[in-house]
């Protein structure tokens, strides 16, 4: 048994960042993690391995579709799935070992095992009980179950199983046109699977700006993904390593279905708090099962804090990281702050999709006076040179003050471009501030400036 100033439960992007920052601020810190490796869902079975597969399959797509146009001739590469899997695993290992190194460097103790909180001020890991002045719950999330669809992580998989399938399936049915469904759906479409996405709503990626939703769906359809929209999945039955999926269309209750070698269940995630002992402690939960916290990430039980996917807000690694840094500051007696109005969201399809701030639909619903500056990547020389002219930047600014209210990008490097607008919004910038900033030529970033110009007297290249 040892005593710590802070024990963090969970070493995902929220937990490990909080542990490192708290140690940097002089606290004696431990982090409890039951997985074999640090980094949580994101590093082990989420953001990072999926990016390896997205990259590899994108390269294949480039070779098949664009190499010959550029004068690069020769046999197009074929998929060596076991090697692609090793590349994925090696990418994960490098990153998880990196966190282990950072823990050692910052003197964060890794308590290996699954933690529980027998009482406030104490954390039990295995047979040992450790004392903690503060406890931070950062235990993340798990895939939400769906009635009638039993996950075996072989034929019916969540995002975890989808990363390590035994082979590339001939047919893949994806339940849910959210971020996971579209990212992994596009990986397998590029690797040769016939992919059908079944979505309950009439639009993909709920909550995203409508123009982006339409453009992304069109692009994915061009890449071969099929969509069944407005459909409620009834169930999936597995026999002889194949699944039979059935659904009903919401508009007329007509029945549909398909056979698939693999079904990916991607209908959202829910907080993971199993075994922590929250009920006995009396930790308050929201109606959706998240841990309820105040603006400083304190639960109703003194000394217990929570961040990341277990609390309210978007289930995003970087949101958890920001909360991790801020809560460490609060626990160390400083002032931690997260600006929830400026949290970017990125979908790592090709082209990428990135968004920050208000959508046009949200501004309309608020009755706010706004202007729209839109610029297509077709007008961007760099994008056209690399066959990435599809997509656009859409900037939303206040009609009176010109202050940037949101930005929505579909196009090359969107996930990086969005940060110019995040910083601008943090500083309360007007669209004109971006428009008057010199942008290097030829870069994709010029499209962001042109969208800002379009909020004023007009873009130059459109």
| Residues at the contact surface with ligand NAI, assessed by CB under 6 A | 146, 175-181, 183, 198-201, 206, 232-233, 266-269, 314-316, 345-348
Q: What is d(CA 226, CA 198) in angstroms, rounded to the nearest whole number? A: 9
Q: Is 156 within 8 Å of 243 (Cβ atoms)?
A: yes
419 is catalytic: no
Comparing C-alpha atoms, which of 393, 404, 405, 381 is closest to residue 354? 393
Catalytic residue among 337, 419, 441, 461: 441
**Least distance from ligand NAI to the Cβ atom of residue 40, Å:** 12
Q: Residue 348, preceding bond cis, omega within 30 degrees?
A: no
Of 405, 387, 381, the closest CA to residue 395 belongs to 405
Please enumerate in sequence order all residues whose Cβ is within 8 A of that of 56, keeping only pairs 6 or more positions apart, or say none.
Answer: 84, 87
Question: Measured between alpha carbons, how far is residue 86 from residues 37, 44, 91 in Å?
Answer: 17, 14, 8
Closest to ligand NAI by CB, 63 or 201: 201
Q: Which two tokens stand for residue 276?
A: 């922590």
For residue 116, give the 3-state DSSP assignment. strand
SS3 329: helix
Phi/psi zone of residue 168: left (φ > 0), alpha (ψ -120 to 50 degrees), beta? beta
Render 255-286 in DSSP notation, one character per residue: EEEEEESEEEE-S-EEE--TTS-HHHHT--B-
User: What is the distance between the alpha carbons of residues 418 and 355, in angstroms, rounded to a whole number?
Assistant: 7
Q: Which structure tokens are listed for 66?
A: 């664009």
What single DSSP character describes residue 359?
-
359-388 residues labelled b (16+ CB within 10 A) or e (exposed): bbeebeeeeeebbbbbbbbbbbebbeeeeb
174 and 198 in contact (C-beta within 8 Å)?
yes
Residue sitting closest to ligand NAI (CB): 178
**CA separation for the pair 458, 253 (Å, rounded):** 48
Cα(358)–Cα(340) distance, rounded to whole angstroms? 12
Three-state secondary-structure class, residue 444: coil
Active-site amino acid positions: 441
């Amino acid at each position: 048994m040892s005593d710590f100033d802070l024990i963090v439960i969970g070493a995902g992007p929220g937990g490990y960042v909080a542990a490192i920052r708290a140690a940097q601020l002089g606290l004696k810190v431990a982090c409890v993690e039951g997985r074999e490796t640090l980094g949580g869902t994101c590093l082990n079975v989420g953001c990072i391995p999926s990016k390896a597969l997205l990259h590899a399959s994108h390269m294949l797509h480039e070779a098949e579709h664009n190499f010959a146009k550029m004068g690069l001739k020769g046999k197009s590469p074929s998929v060596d799935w076991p090697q692609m899997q090793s590349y994925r695993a090696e990418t994960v290992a490098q990153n998880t070992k990196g966190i282990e190194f950072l823990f050692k460097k910052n003197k964060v103790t890794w308590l290996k095992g699954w933690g529980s909180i027998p009482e406030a001020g104490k954390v039990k890991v295995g047979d040992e009980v450790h004392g903690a002045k503060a406890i931070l719950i950062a235990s993340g999330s798990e895939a939400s179950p769906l009635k009638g669809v039993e996950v075996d992580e072989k034929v019916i998989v969540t995002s975890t199983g989808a990363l390590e399938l035994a082979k590339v399936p001939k047919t893949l049915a994806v339940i849910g046109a959210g971020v996971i469904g579209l990212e992994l759906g596009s990986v397998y479409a590029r690797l040769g699977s016939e992919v059908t996405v079944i979505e309950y709503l009439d639009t993909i990626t709920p909550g995203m700006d409508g123009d982006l939703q339409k453009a992304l769906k069109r692009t994915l359809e061009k890449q071969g993904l099929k969509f069944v929209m407005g459909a409620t999945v009834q169930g999936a039955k597995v026999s002889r390593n194949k699944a039979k999926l059935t659904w009903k269309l919401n508009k007329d209750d007509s029945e549909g279905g398909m056979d698939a070698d693999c079904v990916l269940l991607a209908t959202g995630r829910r907080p993971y708090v199993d075994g922590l002992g929250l009920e006995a402690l009396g930790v308050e939960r929201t109606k959706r099962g998240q841990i309820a916290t105040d603006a400083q990430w304190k639960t109703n039980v003194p000394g217990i804090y929570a961040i990341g996917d277990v609390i309210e807000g978007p289930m995003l690694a970087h949101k958890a990281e920001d909360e991790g840094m801020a809560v460490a500051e609060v626990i160390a007696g400083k002032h931690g702050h997260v600006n929830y109005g400026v949290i970017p969201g990125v979908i790592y399809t090709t082209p990428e999709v990135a968004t920050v701030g208000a959508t046009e639909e949200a501004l309309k619903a608020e009755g706010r006076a706004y202007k729209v500056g839109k610029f297509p990547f077709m007008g961007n020389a760099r994008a056209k040179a690399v066959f990435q002219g599809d997509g656009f930047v859409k900037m939303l600014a206040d009609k009176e003050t010109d202050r940037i209210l949101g930005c929505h990008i579909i196009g090359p490097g969107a996930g990086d471009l969005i940060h110019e607008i995040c910083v601008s919004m943090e500083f309360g910038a007007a669209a004109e501030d971006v428009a008057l900033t010199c942008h290097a030529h030829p870069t994709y970033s010029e499209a962001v400036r042109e969208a800002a110009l379009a909020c004023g007297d007009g873009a130059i290249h459109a």
